[in-house]
Amino acid sequence: MISENRKSKTHIVVLFGGESAEHDVSCVTAAHVLRALDSKKYDIITVGITRTGDWVLVDTNLDNLPDQLTTSGKTTSITQVLQVTNQISNTVVIPLLHGPMGEDGTVQGALELAHVAYVGAGVLGSAIAMDKSIAKQILAANNIAQPKFVQVRDSEDRNVAVDRAITKLGLPVFVKPANMGSSIGVQKAKSRDEIIAALVQAFEYDEWALIEEAIAGREIEVAVLGNESARASVPGEIIPSHEFYDYEDKYLIDGAKLLIPAPLTAKQTTEVQNLALNIFGVLRSDGMARIDFFYEENGRGFLCNEINTIPGFTPISMYPKLWQASGVSYSELLDQLIDLAIARHTKRRRNTNR
């Protein structure tokens, strides 16, 4: 059981791991966040979620976080964690749970029920951003430019869906699960047969998939920080080492070239920053998000690819790098996110008379 004798500092619960295919990414992110949190300011509890959904208290040995989730005997539960955090004043949970069952509003809902402050988007914003299909429909309704797409459900006739996609999008296309991140399950398909094969893989992760037009454009990313009065970082540009910015490039080999700030004009920089802030608000985000764009220099301009409400915090991740280039260090970024979580929680409790 977690000790309740924690009264002198802000109490932080770092929550990582999870049941999704992004479990390993979450473990890497958590290790770096834990190293950066100031133990003089914060009393830190670390809780991991195994691939099978068990909740485990882990120690401060950051070299084997994944191993501790399989070998530790200090099993706890979501109920125990929430009961204690609800009894401790000034507690903030930092969910570092990439993908479904963590980034999609599920854990955020549990924390809302427990009246606990947490970093990042709320239930609705998290759910919208995780479901790329829904997010794209909301962007379209708000006249925000994005690549053309077709959504497909696993119960739909594959041949009919592929015909519809080729007619609307042409070839090649990208196929991805609607509810997944870190480029997991994403494939570039250059033929009808490759689209069908890519759909089979995408449906291993989610019952909904997206088929998107392939964009011949630059990859630009902007980090956003804040609640109602959010601000945007300098934009960055990614030049992938592979055909597209895939999982290996993001987390394993550090092969992509990152240009920070992106080589854009002042007018282009302002435009993409304003777009990022607009998208952040339209999709009901809070705290933080990284918003990814394609830039067609001689075509449609900036096209929104997606929003990530729990972006990676590894040393080669764009979100912290963009803020570092904007004058906010890694540890300062965490401090600001914690302050934003407390401010939003206080406002929500006031608005709901809780």
Strand pairing category for 173-177 and 187-189:
antiparallel
Q: For residue 156, give the H/E element and its range.
A: none
**What does the chain come to in residues?**
354
In the structure encoding, which two tokens stand for residue 14, read together?
Answer: 């770092």
Cβ contacts of 140-148, under 8 Å, gap ≥ 24: 142/278, 142/282, 144/275, 144/278, 144/279, 144/282, 144/304, 145/300, 145/301, 145/302, 145/303, 145/304, 146/303, 146/304, 146/305, 147/212, 147/213, 147/215, 147/294, 147/303, 147/305, 148/212, 148/213
- Cα-Cα-Cα-Cα torsion 160, 162, 163, 167, nearest 10 degrees, comes to 140
Q: In a 3-state reduction of DSSP, which class is residue 200?
A: helix
Catalytic residues, by residue number, are 22, 182, 251, 290, 292, 306, 308, 312
Cβ contacts of 105-113, under 8 Å, gap ≥ 24: 105/130, 107/15, 110/78, 110/82, 111/82, 113/82
Distance CA 14, CA 10 (A): 13
Q: In a 3-state reduction of DSSP, which class is residue 301?
A: strand
In the structure encoding, which two tokens stand for residue 139, read together?
Answer: 């962007």
